[in-house]
Amino acid sequence: MLAFIGRRIAISFLILFGSSFLVYNMEAIAGDPLASLAESSARNKAYLISRLTAQLQLDVPPPARYFIWLKGVFSIFIGHLDFGKTRAGGSVLELIGAAVPVTLRLVTAATVLAIVLGISIGVLSAIRQYSRLDYSMTFVSFLFFSLPVFWIAVLLKQYFAIGFNDFLASGQVTMPFMIGIPLALGLIIAGFIGGERRRFWISYGLAAVGLFALLILLNLINWFQSPGLGIVLVFLFSAGAGIVIAGLNMGFEHKTARKAALTVAAIGAVLYYPFNLIPGEWLNLGLVALLGVISIVVGVFAAGAWAKEDRSALRRIGGLTAFFTGLILILDKLMQVWNPYVNSDAISGRPVPTISAANDLLSTNNYWWQLLDVLLHLLLPTLGIMLISFAGYVRYARSSLLEVMNMDYIRTARAKGLTERTVVVRHALRNAMIPLTTLIAFDLSGLIGGAFITEAIYGWKGMGTIFLQSVSNQDLNLLMGVFFLTSFLAVMGNLLADLAYSALDPRIRIGK
């Protein structure tokens, strides 16, 4: 095993060496960094050219210059990594160091959401193969698959940001939307409920009427201008989440599981007022994360206390329920600061931004305000990235699960008399997820460089932006820095994917 990993790493470095050599020379030969200077009409043109030549060592032919660059990279072994200098004279490493967190912030939420949503919808679509839901999800995922990201970004800006901000000015849902939203959403809800044609239309009608009534109610209490959930809804939502989690894990008929989940949700509701008393100024990301961890631990033990058997499953339910309860509490808190945030001078009533990563005008040390600001800036780019990468996961999850469902051991499991839930969740899903881990590992490694168009559109100064800049300025060192980091991560992701695959699937033996 160790020998295998060692050999793989050695080969990976050889590959990195080869590809960086290739890219360096391709770019060095194709793009002349002096071209823009040669065309300029500056009086000290000759001086500028000779200075840039000396600075970037352009007098050395590219293949040899590559090794000067490589020497800088290898000096990581003596403690300081050196990617050289940009044209402007700055350190490439510093630029990249500043860009990576920006990109990570942009893509993390989008990727996690895309994976979770994509896999769940793909699984649902496979379980109900050839149903209305399956056909419409196939169509939708193909549609998203074919959308150019820059095109959807313009649409999102227009309808989600500008349109939504205009709507917020009044805060009242107008009649066309009042009718249109229930009709459209009802279709989706009924599609997920499924069933025969009669049942479909009944659930459609009920959902549409219910949504219509809900919108009227929300209009009446002016909910969209000062939203909030309150303790009752917080409890109901977390109880609902808990029941679903318990049902998926141990079956909807399992009483202890349900009790355990409800206990955790009740604890969340009890903590509602204490949680709301904490001033936002005291909090920061670390503290909130700590609170989250504590609540998950509490959830694990509270649920575990119910256990006579299956302790670990109950604990899992408790932890997951606590996690979602915490999210709902945070959501409620954000809704409470929504109204003052929107009406503050920095925002002045137009909360959904179309550009940049944070509002510079906003000066506050209240954590919830900062969080809301960051989340709103993430909204459009996250939606754009998510819609497009989500489609791939739906397709993969669907075909992977369908493949597993045809296996003999699934028939055996059914023949033993196991419930359909156990067959799907325990037997099929686990095996269907194995090929997906490879995909996920590979995708995660491609994240850093993958969002360059989204970054350009929304004006985030991340890896993509500096990469585009480096290509158009013929800034070879900067380009190589970005390239090296992305391909290094790609190689490592590949290795991790292989290792994960062999760990999850005992039939795969590596290292032979």
Partner 1 sequence: MTEKNSTVSNTADSSIEMKETAGLSQGQLVRKRFFRHRAANISLAYLFLIVLFVFSAGGIHLGSKDAPFTIPGWWHLTINDMSQVSITHSPSGQLLIGAPTLDLNPFDGNGISVGAHPFGQDTIGHDYFSLVIRGAQQSIMVMLVVGLIGGLMGTIIGAVSGYFRGLTDSVLMRFTDLIITIPTVIIGSVIGSRLGNLGVFPLALFLGLFAWTGLARLVRGEFLTLREREFVDAARVAGASAGRIIFKHILPNAMGVIIVSVTLLLSGAILLETALSYVGFGVQSPDVSLGTLISQYQDSFQASPWLFWWPGFFIISIALSVNFVGDGLRDAFDPRQKRKLSRKDLAQAKQVEKN
Q: Report the interface residues with partner 1, using CB under 8 A.
A: 11, 14-16, 18-19, 22-23, 26-27, 30-31, 130, 138-139, 142-143, 145-151, 154, 158, 406, 414, 420, 446, 449-450, 452-453, 456, 467-468, 471-472, 479, 482-483, 486-487, 490-491, 494
The alpha-helical segments, DSSP class H, found in 451-475 are: 452-458, 463-472
User: Of 157 and 316, which has the nearer Cβ to partner 1?
Assistant: 157
Rounded to the nearest whole angstrom, what is the least distance from the CB of residue 134 to partner 1 in the complex? 10
Q: Which two tokens stand for residue 166?
A: 């205009």
Strand partners, 208: none
CB 508 within 8 A of CB 500: no
The span from the CA of 147 to the CA of 384, in Å, is 10
Radius of gyration in angstroms for the set of CA atoms belonging to the chain, rounded to a whole number: 27
Q: From the CB of 157, what's the least distance to partner 1, in Å?
A: 8
Cβ burial of 200 (10 Å; 0-12, 13-18, 19+) is middle
Nearer to partner 1, 118 or 450 (CB): 450
Q: Which is nearer to partner 1, 365 or 406 (CB)?
A: 406
Please, what's the b/e burial string for 189-199 (b: 16 or more CB within 10 A of its CB; e: otherwise)? Answer: bbbeebeeeee
The answer to whether 202 and 240 have CB atoms below 8 angstroms apart is: no
Tokens standing for residue 145 = 């698959």
Could you tell me if 49 and 16 are in contact, meaning their C-beta atoms sit under 8 angstroms apart? Answer: no
> Residue 151 Cβ, how far from partner 1 at the closest point, in Å?
5
Nearest CA to 133 out of 75, 77, 203 is that of 203
Q: How far is the CB of 19 from partner 1 (least distance, A)?
A: 5
Q: Which C-beta is closer to partner 1: that of 138 or that of 225?
A: 138
Least Å distance between CB 420 and partner 1? Answer: 7
Nearer to partner 1, 243 or 413 (CB): 413
Q: Specify the 3-state DSSP secondary structure of 222.
A: coil
57 by DSSP, 3-state: which?
Answer: coil
**Is 301 or 442 the residue whose CB approaches partner 1 more closely?**
442
Return the number of the residue (23 or 496) whose C-beta is nearest partner 1: 23
Minimum distance, C-beta of residue 322 to partner 1, in the bound complex (Å): 35
| 33, 56 contact by CB (below 8 A) | yes
Smallest separation (angstroms) from partner 1 to the CB of 169: 17
Q: Which of 79, 81, 24 is nearest to 57 (CA)?
A: 24
Find the Cα–Cα–Cα–Cα dihedral 171, 175, 176, 178, rounded to 10°: 70
Residue 477 CB, nearest distance to partner 1 (Å)?
14
Q: Is the Cβ of residue 335 or residue 495 nearer to partner 1 in the bound state? A: 495
Length of the chain: 512
